[in-house]
Amino acid sequence: MDTRLALIHETADVDETATIGAGTQIWNYAQVREGAVIGANCNIGSGVYIGVGVHIGDNCKILNNACIFEGAIVDDGVFIGPGCVIGNDKYPRAVDSDGKQVEPGEWRVWHTHIHSGASLGANSTVIPGLTVAAGAEIGAGAVLTKDALPYTLYVGNPAKEMGNAY
């Protein structure tokens, strides 16, 4: 990984197989896992987790302690607020019905797509397998349980459509 054109804090854990775009800043205690791709001119805050193979576009802002798990695609110009979670397992379990620990590959990764210009507020949660359309806005603390329409505002738990996002 050639990170000469990116700023990576000395406490950040960026896997050597990750790709980091020019002008991107990755701050303290962030973790970027194997095969992740982060575009140019992104700001990755303190304590952010970016999972295996996650793709992040250009000009994204991902604030402190957000978690973006394996299977997520984040397009250009997306805002992800502090503490936001983009999940990847609709039926999470530590053990199976026999009490045996669930191992990697023994569960399904649900893919989530966050389209260009979308905004996910602080502490919002996107349930695995959803699409957040271009320009959609998910309010702070909202739990998105269905696909979000373009340029539409969603708030609450479960998140409900509240009108135009602009």
Q: What integer pLDDT is reported at residue 2 of this predicted model? A: 53
Q: What integer pLDDT is reported at residue 3 of this predicted model? A: 57
> How many Å from the N-terminal Cα to the C-terminal Cα in the chain?
39
Report the alpha-carbon distance of residue 12 to residue 35 in Å, rounded: 16
**Cα-based torsion angle of the residue sequence 146, 138, 54, 38 in order, rounded to the nearest 10 degrees:** 150
Q: Tokens 């402190």 label which residue?
A: 64
Q: What integer pLDDT is reported at residue 166 of this predicted model? A: 78
Architecture per CATH, 1-91+104-166: 3 Solenoid (2.160)
Low-confidence ranges of the chain (pLDDT < 50): none
Residue spans of the domains in the chain: they are: 1-91+104-166
Q: What integer pLDDT is reported at residue 106 of this predicted model? A: 86
Sheet holding 160-164, edge to edge: 7-8, 25-26, 43-44, 61-62, 79-80, 119-120, 137-138, 152-155, 160-164
Task: Give the three-state DSSP class for 55.
Answer: strand
How many other C-beta atoms lie within 10 A of the C-beta of residue 150? 13
pTM: 0.94
Q: What integer pLDDT is reported at residue 104 of this predicted model? A: 81
Q: What is 61-125 written as a DSSP string?
A: EE-TT-EE-TTEEE-TT-EE-TT-EE---SS--SB-TTSPBPPTTSSPPPPEEE-TT-EE-TT-E
Q: What integer pLDDT is reported at residue 1 of this predicted model? A: 55
Q: Tokens 């990116």 label which residue?
A: 6
Q: What integer pLDDT is reported at residue 107 of this predicted model? A: 87
Pairing of strands 67-68, 143-144: unpaired
